[in-house]
Amino acid sequence: MSNRRRRGHRGRGVPDELLGHAIHAYVKLAPGADLGEREVIRHCLVTLESHMAPKRVFFVDALPLTDSGKVRRASLR
């Protein structure tokens, strides 16, 4: 995946009974890209600390943005 870096990866902490919160990743794939949930999580486990890897991955058509172009995280719940 490192050779096929993609824009549009975003993370969000969500409530989790055991950990207090868990990370979910929201991914907007580039046109024609073929990437699965396991591949994203595996890549994150290799490149990040294990507690920072997402528990779930959601693929979205578009990320909700503010007028200034930042991700509207509250909309990703």
Task: Provide the whole-model pTM.
Answer: 0.68
Q: What is the arithmetic mean of pLDDT over 5-20? A: 56
What domains lie within the chain, and their CATH numbers? 2-61 (3.30.300.30)
CA–chain centroid gap for 61, Å, is: 13
Q: Is the pLDDT of residue 19 over 60?
A: no
Q: What is the pLDDT of residues 59-77, one digit of tens each?
A: 999 999 999 999 898 888 7
